[in-house]
Amino acid sequence: MPKLCMTTALWAILLLGQGGQALAQQPSAQKLMRDIKLALFDSRWDEALQSARRLQSRFPDSPLAGQALYYEAKALESKGSLAEAVRKYDRFADQPRDAGSLLLQQARLSIINLAVELYRQGDKSWIRRTRQALSSRDQALRYYAALRLSAVPDKSESGRAVPVLREILGNEPDADLRDRAILALMRIDPKLAEGQNRRGGSARRRAGVGQRLNLEIVAEGEATVSLSFPLSMARWLVDSIPRDALRELEEEGIDARNLIDELQRAGGQNIVEVRSKDALFRIWID
């Protein structure tokens, strides 16, 4: 009997030596993953980065190491290190995993988005990453790339999105997605959206196709400025206003982003008057 007990004890030691270490590691990897997610949730980007890198370094064979790489990229993106974030997303996307993985899809969408942001920051070479996604076999990536590319000011680049946007209009049963495609076409060139009113009427109404925004500035009792332009152009202008300028307008009591929607909801000839220190602004839609 003592011999049997000794044999059992030896087997237990062997099993713990080989498998016990992995069992002991897993809770530590899980704890680090919890730390990463909590840090990201609380916008503690540096802590999230440290925990993500620690998990990958200590437990490279853990199934959580791949997720840690994704969250490392997410933290870098949140910190504003966009180019480095793309490189980490690329590494994550290149690792063998289920093609239907949610994190894999999110990583590829993030690459498309960050490429546009880096292009806007002045490095024109990044836009090719978004262009490449236009020919992806993955429909979601193709559609997202077209919608993001449509917002690029350079028409030679944004125009590349037109075939995919038309694909959305021709094939998609989702009315909201079709509406977004019509709005994207309007950003590129309002004429491209002509003829889409039957299937995309709600988008055209929201974008103000056929309507005009009128602006009159009255100073010292006289109209010193009088402007009228297509409402779709007005929306594009509002989207192009820098954030600092939008804040200055808000300090004057003008919410530029919501003003057009409020006018449309009010309907027709309703006039909104906004007073600043030196002038009266009269705005209406017809």
- For residue 34, the model assigns a pLDDT of 92
User: How many structural domains does the chain have?
Assistant: 3
CA distances for 213 relative to 24, 63, 170, 194, 256, angstroms: 67, 56, 31, 19, 13
**Residue 54 clears pLDDT 90, i.e. is over it:** yes
**Residue 60 clears pLDDT 70, i.e. is over it:** yes
- For residue 246, the model assigns a pLDDT of 59
Q: Please enumerate in sequence order all residues whose Cβ is within 8 A of that of 219, keeping only pairs 6 or more positions apart, or say none.
A: 278, 279, 280
Indicate if 173 and 197 belong to the same structural domain: yes
- For residue 107, the model assigns a pLDDT of 93
Chain segment 217-237, per-residue pLDDT in tens: 676 666 555 666 566 556 555
**Residue 153 clears pLDDT 70, i.e. is over it:** yes
- For residue 87, the model assigns a pLDDT of 96
276: in domain: yes
- For residue 244, the model assigns a pLDDT of 59
Indicate if 199 and 257 belong to the same structural domain: no
Run of H or E including 273: strand 271-275
Indicate if 258 and 219 belong to the same structural domain: yes
116: in domain: no
**Residue 247 clears pLDDT 80, i.e. is over it:** no
Q: Can you tell me the mean pLDDT for 113-141?
A: 93
Q: Which residue has the higher pLDDT, 267 or 90?
A: 90
Q: Which residue has the higher pLDDT, 97 or 51?
A: 51
Residue 37 is part of which domain span? 26-96
Q: Can you tell me the mean pLDDT for 113-138?
A: 93
21: in domain: no
Euclidean distance between CA atoms 45 and 268, whole angstroms: 48
